[in-house]
Amino acid sequence: MITNVKLVNICVKDQTKALDFYTKTLGFEVLDDQPFGPDMRWLELAPKGGQTRVTLFTAPGQEDRIGSFTGISFQCDDVRATYNDLAKKGVEFTQEPTEQPGGLMAVFKDLDGNEFVLSKD
């Protein structure tokens, strides 16, 4: 029986720059950082206290996935407060907090243009 989502992949151009953004700007924690083939690393991170992990990795031939809507939704306690905090840190939002059928949501981009939803519950 499936119990949860273990990890999701985020395709990035530059792993070092992406790591800096996800840790210093978004506050994720590094869970694994090791060599993974030539000129690549296996970077596994998670929001503090989060169950689901993300990898910052682009497999050869998958470069066209960089800079798209990921379908990933990050949960937070307060969408407006998190929006304000991240916006002050320079995070680009393509949608300010807006009431949607699923609740209050905002949409932001990482350094590579990958888009994510920010929501509560």
Burial 85-105 (b: 16+ CB within 10 A, else e): ebeeeebeeeeebeeeeeebb
Q: What is the pLDDT, as a whole number, of residue 64? A: 95
How far is it, in rounded angstroms, from Cα 97 to Cα 44?
28
Beta bridge partners of 117: 73, 107
The two three-digit tokens of residue 109, written as one number: 């981009």
Number of neighbours of residue 109 by Cβ within 10 angstroms: 15
pLDDT band at 6 (very low <50, low <70, confident <90, very high): very high
pLDDT at 22: 98
The pLDDT of residue 37 = 82
Helices (H), 1-121: 15-20, 79-88
Topology at the third CATH level for domain 7-119: 2,3-Dihydroxybiphenyl 1,2-Dioxygenase; domain 1 (3.10.180)
Listed by start position, the domains of the chain span 7-119
Task: Provide the pLDDT for residue 58.
Answer: 94
Q: What pLDDT digit, counting tens, does each position of 82-120 carry? A: 999 999 999 999 999 999 998 999 999 999 999 999 999
pLDDT, the chain, mean? 95
pLDDT band at 78 (very low <50, low <70, confident <90, very high): very high
What pLDDT is stored for residue 39 in this prediction?
A: 84
What are the structure tokens assigned to 108, written together?
């932001």
Lowest mean pLDDT among 37-41, 49-53, 90-94, 102-106: 37-41
